[in-house]
Amino acid sequence: MRLFAGFFCAVLLVAATAAARAETRIALVVGNSTYVHAPRLQNPRNDALALIDRLRGLGFEVIEGLDLDRATFGEKLKEFGERSASAEVALFYYAGHGIQVDGQNYLVPVEAQVRSEFEVSIELYSLGTVLRQMERGSRTNIIFLDACRDNPFRDSLAASSRSAIALSKGLGEVRAARSTYIAFATEPDKVALDGAGRNSPFTEALLRHIDTPGASIQDMMIKVRRDVAAATNGQQTPWDSSSLMETFSFAPAAAAVAATQPAPAAAPSEAPQQLALSMRAVRPAVACSAGPDGVRYCATSVLGAIKGNHYDPSMLFDGRGDTAWVEGDAEDGIGETVTLEFGRVRRLAGFEISNGYDKDQRIWSSNSRVRAFDLHFPDGRSLAGELPDRRGVNRIEFAAPVATSAFSLTIREVYRGTRYRDTAISELRPIFAD
């Protein structure tokens, strides 16, 4: 029997993260809900937390700003400005109270109390201050403002004013500076809704479309605009202003696996060693389940049953997002492996994977998800890949079908869960070309 030692080195390009890592992306995400001297808002904190997770999955370094007072708001803005100077993409998101006074837009820290027109610039932050921080050097600037709620200080400002100051509903129109894109939750001088659900209508639509592969930011906003108008029965229509000099996509179009040419065959004496190195990364399986189409699913560890819920490999092919295989490692599952055995040589074109415990947004965020992985084949070939941090099905296609009787997916890096370290996969299905 002759051993072939030629490894195929391949890189799996899952577009959103791979392309994002080619450029430096920085974001400041602010969600203010717990106001002291203004009406509390239900959703901004939820909106910010959800967008933080989504942006990190799209390659952004995120500065978190939750329920910021004025001093902390200022510190976050300074950090954002400093880091924007060396970034190629800078994004600012704000959800909370925002007001318009004399044609100027202001963002409201949680402890702000405005009793007269002379306190506006002392208590609040102007949108112009944010724009100046983003002018330090980033090539593309993006601003999302879900801050068009009605002016909470309208009565006190009107009563105390000794001059004819202009108090308008919502936020005023802003012309985007060079290479800047600004999106408002609704039209200028209109009031946006906080929403009855967990997220505002604007941010809910933004989360739904922001990671659409290949969609430009302008195309994405058309979908957001339609969704918001439909959800609010036409009461709210998002508005934008752009001076971008080039096309920008949060998640570039998906790409297939790109493989290099086979490495030169090694000398016969080296072949057994190379094969052993490839197979050594896969630990022995402790649990297996018979799946559809003659495929056998095996895992190197399984989390024990909790309150009647089971997490064995059979959860990977039951077609349900509310179940999952969850590894049983004491840490975060790095090195744990799922193997799919076909029983005979098949032409494998790729696979589909639903990453994380995809029962709902809260459960999905609570548990860790696979970030980077290695694929191993019985003949010694291996692939390396990375997944975007998003719910739903990721379809991974190879550049050409691979003839194999099995493959193993080993966890190399994870997106850390907000509550649990256990790493989960809801579904894993091979794609055959025969």
Q: Are residues 217 and 359 in the same domain?
A: no
- Element containing residue 396 per DSSP (H, E): strand 393-415
Cα gap 128→42, rounded to integer Å: 26
Q: Answer yes or no: is 377 within a domain.
A: yes
Is residue 306 classed as helix, strand or coil in its secondary structure?
Answer: strand
Q: Are 209 and 297 in a shared domain?
A: no
Indicate if 233 and 298 belong to the same structural domain.
Answer: no
CB 148 within 8 A of CB 185: yes
Asked if residue 172 lies in contact with residue 188, where contact means CB atoms within 8 angstroms, the answer is yes
234 with 110, same domain: the answer is yes
The answer on 400 and 348 residing in a single domain is yes
Record the pTM: 0.55
Residues 151 and 83 in one domain: yes
Closest to 298 measured CA to CA, from 318, 308, 283, 310: 283
pLDDT tens digits for the chain (434 residues)?
222 223 333 334 343 444 444 579 999 999 999 999 888 888 999 999 999 989 998 889 999 999 999 999 999 999 999 999 999 999 999 999 888 776 788 899 999 887 667 677 788 888 889 988 998 888 899 999 998 555 555 555 544 443 333 334 455 556 556 689 999 998 766 666 656 678 999 999 999 999 888 889 999 999 999 999 998 888 888 988 898 988 999 987 654 343 333 333 333 333 333 323 333 345 577 889 999 989 999 999 999 998 888 999 999 998 887 899 999 876 788 999 999 999 999 999 999 999 999 888 889 999 999 999 999 999 888 888 899 988 888 888 888 899 999 999 999 999 999 988 899 999 999 999 98
Task: Categorise residue 60: left if φ over 0, alpha if ψ from -120 to 50, beta otherwise.
Answer: beta
What is the β-pairing status of strands 60-66 and 25-31? parallel
pLDDT at residue 264, as a whole number = 37
H/E element, 29 = strand 25-31
Q: Which residues pair with 26 in a beta bridge?
A: 61, 90
- Within this chain, do residues 344 and 289 fall inside the same structural domain, yes or no? yes
Judge whether 269 lies within some domain.
Answer: no
Q: Does any domain span residue 196? A: yes
In this structure, are 332 and 217 located in the same domain? Answer: no
List Cβ neighbours of 95 (8 Å cut-off, separation of 6 or more): 30, 31, 32, 41, 43, 44, 45, 47, 48, 146, 147, 200, 203
Whether residue 10 is contained in a domain is answered as: no
Asked if 288 and 227 sit in the same domain, the reply is no
| Residues 285, 25 contacting (CB under 8 angstroms) | no
Alpha carbon distance 150, 225 (integer Å): 20
Residue reference for tokens 């724009």: 131
What 3-state class would DSSP assign to 414?
A: strand
Residue 26 lies in a domain: yes
Do the domain assignments include residue 273? no
Domain finish residue from 221, 242, 263: 242
Q: What pLDDT score does 307 carry?
A: 86
Which CATH number covers residue 405? 2.60.120.260
In a domain, 11, yes or no: no
Q: Is residue 256 part of a domain?
A: no
Pick the last residue of a domain from 242, 270, 294: 242
pLDDT value, residue 189:
60
Q: Would you state the pLDDT for residue 398?
A: 87
Domain containing residue 376: 281-432
Give pLDDT, residue 124: 86
Closest CA to 269 of 10, 2, 78: 2
The domain boundary residue, chosen from 212, 227, 242: 242
CATH code of the domain covering residue 50: 3.40.50.1460
Strand runs (DSSP E) across 226-333, as ranges? 239-242, 258-259, 287-290, 296-299, 325-326
Distance (Å, whole) CA 348 – CA 352: 12
Same structural domain, 81 and 221: yes
287 and 238 in a common domain: no
Q: Based on the number of CB atoms within 10 Å of its own CB, is 178 exposed (0-12), middle (13-18) or buried (19 or more)? A: exposed
User: At residue 366, what is the residue type?
Assistant: S
Closest CA to 151 of 8, 316, 39: 39
The count of structural domains within the chain is: 2
In angstroms, rounded to a whole number, what is the distance separating the alpha carbons of residues 169 and 287?
Answer: 61
Radius of gyration of the chain (CA): 25
Confidence (pLDDT) at 23: 77
Residues 130, 144: Cα–Cα separation, whole Å = 12
Residues 153 and 24 both lie in one domain: yes
Q: What is d(CA 25, CA 63) in angstroms, rounded to the nearest whole number?
A: 11
